[in-house]
Amino acid sequence: MSTKEEVLEKKEVKSKASKLHEIVLYNDDYNTFDHVIETLIVACEHTSEQAEQCALLVHYKGKCTVKTGPYKELEPRCGKLLEEGLTAEIV
């Protein structure tokens, strides 16, 4: 009687998942709630409810992540926020 051994090889699998980034919007003392909400609707394609909740979080917490995705998609959106006088950055 002979015994057969099977050896399983370990293989590393590299995924090509793109790193996700976030646009973080910061509170300021200059922009109105309406302006922030309207800008989020246009720049980040938020619903009015999403934009309102983000504006409230920014007001009370000092900052809020308003959009997540690949850097290439976030860059023009963040640019629109900055053009409208909001304080934001991609992290």
Evaluate if residue 84 carries a pLDDT over 80. yes
CB burial readout 44-66, b (16+ within 10 A) else e? bebeeeebbebbebbeeeeebeb
What's the predicted TM-score (pTM) here?
Answer: 0.79
More reliable by pLDDT, 18 or 75:
75
Q: Give the per-residue pLDDT at 18.
A: 64
* Span 2-56, pLDDT tens digits: 666 666 666 554 545 568 999 999 999 999 999 999 999 999 999 999 999 999 9
- For 34, residues 6+ apart whose C-beta sits below 8 A from its C-beta are none
**Among candidates 52, 90, 83, which has minimal Cα distance to 69?**
90
Q: Give the per-residue pLDDT at 17.
A: 58
